[in-house]
Amino acid sequence: MSARSKAQGSALQNEEKDYNYKQLDKVIHSRIRFAALCYLDSVDQASFVEIREGISATDGNLSVHMRKLEAAGYVYCDKTYSKRVPLSTYRITDTGRNAFTEYRSKLGDFFSLPFSPVRDKNL
């Protein structure tokens, strides 16, 4: 196949794909919020400390991002006390789970080919 044929085929494939960034949920499309949702998706619920340690975030950054997820209705926070110490426990809401599933699907649509890791030929 000539280089021109390959380029034309590639252009046709790209015409069918929609690379509009506005398709991605801007609430989720943040490294910390994305990581927090991934973490919560892997468990039923988690404390603030568990999420913070699981995604290696700072208290300040995580609290801001968790409030944004909560304001969007993507997570629910149950605030209680344990031995006089505040305990915030988070879980994904149905709205959040649906939004996260849609986000993952839309993000996957941005890739032209299925992902396959590049293998080092020297190994």
Q: Which two tokens stand for residue 6?
A: 């390959």
pLDDT category, 82, cuts 50, 70, 90?
A: confident
pLDDT of amino acid 55: 98
Distance CA 10, CA 90 (A): 44
CATH 1.10.10.10 correct for 24-106: yes
Q: What per-residue string of b and e applies to 37-72 under the rule 16 or more CB within 10 Å gives b?
A: bebbeeeeebebeebbebbebeeeebeebbebbeeb
pLDDT of amino acid 121: 63
- Decide: 39 and 55 in contact? Cβ < 8 Å: yes
- Decide: 48 and 66 in contact? Cβ < 8 Å: yes
Distance CA 65, CA 34 (A): 10
Higher pLDDT, 3 or 66: 66
Domain coordinates in residue numbering, the chain: 24-106
Average pLDDT, stretch 82-87? 88
Helix (H) or strand (E) holding 35: helix 31-41
- Decide: 64 and 45 in contact? Cβ < 8 Å: no
Residue 13 has pLDDT above 60, yes or no: no
pLDDT of amino acid 83: 87
- Over residues 34-78, the pLDDT tens digits come to 999 999 999 999 999 999 999 999 999 999 999 999 999 999 999
Higher pLDDT, 94 or 9: 94
- Over residues 17-37, the pLDDT tens digits come to 778 888 889 999 999 999 999
pLDDT of amino acid 12: 47
Q: Residue 9 phi/psi, 5° resolution?
A: -65, -40
Average pLDDT, stretch 86-108? 94
